[in-house]
């Protein structure tokens, strides 16, 4: 699994993170099937597509992320795309002996104390994170897999305001892609992110005009207050 050239299928290649992978120069052969070519809700379709391509690795990005409130408003869509879709992909990867890399989120941790290790208890604070943890559950059953719990955002920072009292370990998509390709041979669970800091500190480095705001104690925003990551394992691998 180490250095040789691999055939890699990437689901969800048209998304924000997927398009960064498309732009990344790699020696591997990469395939970015459209939703029509590889429908994660159609088992037969997944089987046929992967039989034809015969990849060594599948990086699973396809699913539902934003807007966050869609996971509260439309749980069917959230369950289908993030839980059932991921379970389908896992089943076929297992059958066809394909290494599976699943992109999860740091939001699966409780988000109260920060500095979360991969072995810490999980307790999502919103439906999006529950749906990603649901996806993780099936991937965990398949031993030839890697789950990446990632804290990332797009560059430039898209919002005009940023919380000064919400901590995370944000890293830009472009930087996560570089790490992703270095870890393809690993298995298990790995936290991926940058320095632990509040979102305002992170955002103002690139955007001096970003406004500082604070999340109220009784805020209705379903967001972890400190989802920062312990990156000891990642540093060991890099």
**Domains by residue range for the chain, with CATH:** 7-154+170-195+229-237 (3.40.50.720)
Which pairing describes strands 99-105 and 145-150: parallel, antiparallel, or unpaired? parallel
Output the pLDDT for position 17: 92
* Alpha-carbon distances, residue 26 vs 86, 129, 181 (angstroms): 25, 30, 8
pLDDT tens-digit map of 84-113: 999 999 999 999 999 999 999 999 999 999
Q: Are 222 and 124 in contact (CB under 8 A)?
A: no
Where residue 220 falls among pLDDT bands split at 50, 70, 90?
low
C-alpha–C-alpha distance, residues 102 and 39, integer Å: 16
Mean pLDDT of 32-46: 96
Where residue 24 falls among pLDDT bands split at 50, 70, 90?
very high
Where residue 204 falls among pLDDT bands split at 50, 70, 90?
very high
Q: At what angle do helices 85-95 and 127-141 cross, to 10 degrees?
A: 10
Q: Which H or E run contains 24?
A: none
C-alpha–C-alpha distance, residues 114 and 23, integer Å: 32
Lookup result for tokens 């029509």: 36
197 versus 14: which is more confidently predicted?
197
The phi-psi region of residue 111 (left if phi > 0; otherwise alpha if psi is between -120 and 50; otherwise beta) is left
Output the pLDDT for position 68: 78
Cα end-to-end span (Å), the chain? 16
Output the pLDDT for position 154: 87
Q: Which two tokens stand for residue 221?
A: 């925003």
Indicate whether 1 pLDDT > 60: no
């Amino acid at each position: 699994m180490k250095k040789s050239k691999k055939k890699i299928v990437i689901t969800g290649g048209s998304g924000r993170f997927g398009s960064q992978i498309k732009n990344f120069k790699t020696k591997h052969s990469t395939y970015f099937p459209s939703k029509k070519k590889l429908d994660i809700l159609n088992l037969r379709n997944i089987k046929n597509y992967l039989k034809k391509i015969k990849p060594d690795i599948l990086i699973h990005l396809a699913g539902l992320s934003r807007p966050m409130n869609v996971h509260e408003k439309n749980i069917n869509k959230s369950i289908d795309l993030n839980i059932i879709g991921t379970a389908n992909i896992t089943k076929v990867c297992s059958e066809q002996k394909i290494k599976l890399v699943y992109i999860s989120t740091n939001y699966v941790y409780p988000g109260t104390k920060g500095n979360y290790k991969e072995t810490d208890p999980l307790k999502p604070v919103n439906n999006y994170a529950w749906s990603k943890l649901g996806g993780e559950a099936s991937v965990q059953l398949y031993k030839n897999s890697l789950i990446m719990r990632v804290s990332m955002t797009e560059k430039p920072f898209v919002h005009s305001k940023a919380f000064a009292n919400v901590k995370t370990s944000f890293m830009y998509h472009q930087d996560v892609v570089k790490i992703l390709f270095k870890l393809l041979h690993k298995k298990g669970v790995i936290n991926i992110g940058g320095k632990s800091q509040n979102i305002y500190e992170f955002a103002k480095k690139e955007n001096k005009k970003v406004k500082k705001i604070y999340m109220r104690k009784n805020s209705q925003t379903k967001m972890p207050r400190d989802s920062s990551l312990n990156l000891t394992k990642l540093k060991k691998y890099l």
